[in-house]
Amino acid sequence: MGRLFVVNLEGKIYSCKHCRTHLALYEDILSKSFQCRANVFVGVKEERLMMTGLHTVADIFCVGCGSIVGWKYETACEKSQKYKEGKSVLERFKVSGPDGSSYWLNHEAHVGGSDADDA
Protein backbone atom coordinates (compact mmCIF):
# COMPACT_ATOMS: atom_id res chain seq x y z
CA MET A 1 0.00 0.00 0.00
CA GLY A 2 2.95 2.33 0.48
CA ARG A 3 3.52 5.00 3.06
CA LEU A 4 0.45 6.60 4.61
CA PHE A 5 0.41 10.16 5.86
CA VAL A 6 -2.12 11.29 8.44
CA VAL A 7 -3.66 14.71 7.85
CA ASN A 8 -4.56 16.74 10.95
CA LEU A 9 -7.76 18.67 10.34
CA GLU A 10 -8.49 21.98 12.06
CA GLY A 11 -11.78 22.98 13.62
CA LYS A 12 -14.67 20.75 14.69
CA ILE A 13 -13.80 17.23 13.58
CA TYR A 14 -15.07 13.67 13.62
CA SER A 15 -12.42 11.11 14.49
CA CYS A 16 -11.97 7.34 14.73
CA LYS A 17 -13.22 6.18 18.14
CA HIS A 18 -10.37 3.67 18.43
CA CYS A 19 -7.29 5.76 17.62
CA ARG A 20 -8.61 9.35 17.39
CA THR A 21 -7.35 9.82 13.81
CA HIS A 22 -9.15 12.78 12.19
CA LEU A 23 -11.69 11.64 9.59
CA ALA A 24 -13.89 14.59 8.61
CA LEU A 25 -14.78 18.17 9.37
CA TYR A 26 -18.12 18.85 11.05
CA GLU A 27 -19.20 21.10 8.17
CA ASP A 28 -18.42 18.45 5.56
CA ILE A 29 -20.10 15.51 7.25
CA LEU A 30 -23.45 17.26 7.39
CA SER A 31 -23.30 17.96 3.69
CA LYS A 32 -25.35 15.77 1.36
CA SER A 33 -22.33 15.78 -0.96
CA PHE A 34 -19.91 14.46 1.69
CA GLN A 35 -16.98 12.59 0.20
CA CYS A 36 -14.69 11.20 2.86
CA ARG A 37 -11.06 11.71 1.79
CA ALA A 38 -9.01 12.47 4.89
CA ASN A 39 -7.18 9.66 6.67
CA VAL A 40 -9.21 6.78 5.22
CA PHE A 41 -8.71 4.15 2.58
CA VAL A 42 -11.37 2.40 0.57
CA GLY A 43 -11.66 -1.39 0.52
CA VAL A 44 -12.85 -3.82 -2.12
CA LYS A 45 -16.09 -3.11 -3.96
CA GLU A 46 -18.94 -5.53 -3.34
CA GLU A 47 -22.66 -5.71 -3.97
CA ARG A 48 -24.86 -5.36 -0.90
CA LEU A 49 -28.59 -5.42 -0.52
CA MET A 50 -29.23 -2.37 1.60
CA MET A 51 -32.52 -1.07 2.98
CA THR A 52 -32.78 1.22 -0.04
CA GLY A 53 -31.99 -1.44 -2.64
CA LEU A 54 -28.99 -3.10 -4.25
CA HIS A 55 -25.79 -1.04 -4.23
CA THR A 56 -22.14 -1.59 -5.04
CA VAL A 57 -20.27 -0.33 -1.97
CA ALA A 58 -16.79 -0.42 -0.49
CA ASP A 59 -15.95 -0.27 3.21
CA ILE A 60 -13.98 2.75 4.46
CA PHE A 61 -11.09 2.05 6.84
CA CYS A 62 -9.23 4.37 9.23
CA VAL A 63 -5.57 4.72 8.17
CA GLY A 64 -4.52 4.99 11.81
CA CYS A 65 -5.80 1.66 13.10
CA GLY A 66 -7.49 -0.09 10.19
CA SER A 67 -10.97 -0.08 11.75
CA ILE A 68 -13.98 0.03 9.46
CA VAL A 69 -15.58 3.44 10.01
CA GLY A 70 -18.19 3.42 7.25
CA TRP A 71 -18.73 2.74 3.56
CA LYS A 72 -18.70 4.46 0.19
CA TYR A 73 -21.45 4.10 -2.40
CA GLU A 74 -19.88 3.20 -5.74
CA THR A 75 -23.01 2.48 -7.81
CA ALA A 76 -26.73 2.20 -7.22
CA CYS A 77 -28.97 -0.10 -9.24
CA GLU A 78 -32.16 1.91 -8.74
CA LYS A 79 -32.54 5.21 -10.54
CA SER A 80 -33.93 6.92 -7.42
CA GLN A 81 -30.72 6.08 -5.50
CA LYS A 82 -28.18 7.36 -8.07
CA TYR A 83 -27.60 10.53 -5.99
CA LYS A 84 -25.65 8.39 -3.48
CA GLU A 85 -22.97 7.35 -5.97
CA GLY A 86 -19.51 8.56 -4.94
CA LYS A 87 -20.73 9.60 -1.48
CA SER A 88 -19.50 8.18 1.81
CA VAL A 89 -21.20 7.29 5.09
CA LEU A 90 -19.47 7.32 8.48
CA GLU A 91 -21.22 5.15 11.04
CA ARG A 92 -22.06 7.15 14.16
CA PHE A 93 -21.05 4.50 16.67
CA LYS A 94 -17.63 4.07 15.04
CA VAL A 95 -16.57 7.71 15.31
CA SER A 96 -16.19 10.36 18.01
CA GLY A 97 -18.05 13.61 17.55
CA PRO A 98 -16.63 17.13 17.31
CA ASP A 99 -16.94 17.60 21.06
CA GLY A 100 -15.01 14.36 21.69
CA SER A 101 -18.11 12.43 22.68
CA SER A 102 -18.79 8.90 21.55
CA TYR A 103 -22.17 7.97 20.21
CA TRP A 104 -23.43 5.41 22.70
CA LEU A 105 -26.58 3.47 22.01
CA ASN A 106 -29.34 3.58 24.59
CA HIS A 107 -31.54 0.60 25.36
CA GLU A 108 -34.34 1.87 23.12
CA ALA A 109 -32.10 2.40 20.09
CA HIS A 110 -32.00 -0.05 17.23
CA VAL A 111 -28.81 -2.06 17.61
CA GLY A 112 -27.19 -2.68 14.26
CA GLY A 113 -24.31 -1.79 12.05
CA SER A 114 -24.48 -0.65 8.50
CA ASP A 115 -27.51 -0.41 6.28
CA ALA A 116 -26.58 -3.83 4.94
CA ASP A 117 -26.90 -5.42 8.39
CA ASP A 118 -30.55 -4.37 8.57
CA ALA A 119 -31.56 -5.90 5.24
Residue 113 pLDDT: 47
Average pLDDT of the segment spanning 53-62: 95
Q: What is the pLDDT of residues 25-46, one digit of tens each?
A: 877 765 656 666 689 999 999 9
Residue 4 pLDDT: 67
Strands 13-16 and 95-96: antiparallel
Q: Which domains does the chain have, with CATH numbers?
A: 13-95 (2.170.150.20)
Cα 37 to chain centroid distance, Å, stands at 10
Q: Give dist(CA 35, CA 111) in Å, integer.
A: 26
Residue 5 pLDDT: 75
Average pLDDT of the segment spanning 79-100: 87
pTM of this structure: 0.74
Residue 10 pLDDT: 86
